[in-house]
Structures are given as structure tokens and as C-alpha cells.
């Protein structure tokens, strides 16, 4: 139960911050979502740093890592988890799985958005 509360708390804070940054910066350029881009890149930097110091030793407890990585970064952006998983595949030399997972995640994700929009129009 404690773990779920930590993820809930971190996710809520991350989501609110993502909303604020996106709302603030997405209107700067036409056809480029600067706020979303910033959130995704910052989220990747943060999850890399958080998990990096967590793996190194006693810098963060398991609860702090869960609050910050799964909770905050998960609420802030799921792109950070996606990027970390891709990095892990590359580190393990899994180039085929890296390519298949990356391409299929993006392509099927975009197709799923289109299908969802199409289904909504059918209502």
C-alpha cells in the first residue's frame, strides 16, 4: 500500500508540472510542441539521473526511487520510461529488439491514435 501511495503522490506532482510546462511553452512555436518536447527531454534526464544514483548505492532508498522514477517521472512523462527501456536494450546489445520495439511503439501508437479518433467519430 505504501508503494502505491508513493507512486500516486509522485505521479500527481509530475502530472501537474507537465500540465504547467506544456501550457506555458506549447504556444511558443507553431507546429512544434515545445512544452511537450521539454517535458520529454527533462524526464529522460531525470529518470537517467535518478536510476543512475539509485543503482550506484545508498544515495536513494527504494521508496525514494519509486516516488521519483515510477511516480514523478511516470506522471511527468511516460517517454522517460520508454527511452530508458530503449537504452537498456542498446546496452545489452539487443539491436534487433531495440529496432522492433522502437518502431512498433511509435508506428502502432500513432495508428492507435488514428483508430481512436475514427472510433470516436463513429459514435
> What average pLDDT does this structure show over 78-84?
85
Distance of alpha carbon 9 from alpha carbon 14, whole angstroms: 9
pLDDT of residue 80: 83
Question: Which positions ≥6 away from 35 have C-beta within 8 Å?
Answer: 21, 22, 23, 24, 25, 26
The segment with the largest mean pLDDT, out of 28-32, 52-56, 88-92, is: 88-92
The answer, yes or no, to whether residue 33 has pLDDT greater than 90, is: no
Distance of alpha carbon 58 from alpha carbon 44, whole angstroms: 22
The answer, yes or no, to whether residue 31 has pLDDT greater than 80, is: no
Q: For the chain, what is the mean pLDDT?
A: 91
Greater confidence, 80 or 99?
99
> What average pLDDT does this structure show over 45-74?
91
Query: How is residue 106 annotated by DSSP?
Result: H
The string of pLDDT tens digits covering residues 48-60 is 999 999 888 878 9
Amino acid at each position: 500500500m505504501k508503494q502505491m501511495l508513493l507512486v500516486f503522490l509522485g505521479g500527481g506532482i509530475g502530472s501537474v508540472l507537465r500540465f504547467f510546462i506544456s501550457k506555458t511553452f506549447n504556444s511558443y512555436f507553431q507546429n512544434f510542441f515545445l512544452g511537450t518536447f521539454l517535458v520529454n527531454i527533462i524526464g529522460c534526464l531525470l529518470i537517467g539521473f535518478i536510476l543512475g544514483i539509485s543503482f550506484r548505492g545508498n544515495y536513494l532508498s527504494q521508496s525514494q526511487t519509486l516516488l521519483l522514477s515510477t511516480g514523478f517521472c511516470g506522471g511527468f512523462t511516460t517517454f522517460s520510461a520508454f527511452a530508458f527501456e530503449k537504452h537498456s536494450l542498446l546496452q545489452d546489445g539487443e539491436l534487433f529488439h531495440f529496432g522492433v520495439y522502437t518502431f512498433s511503439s511509435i508506428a502502432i501508437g500513432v495508428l492507435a491514435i488514428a483508430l481512436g479518433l475514427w472510433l470516436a467519430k463513429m459514435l
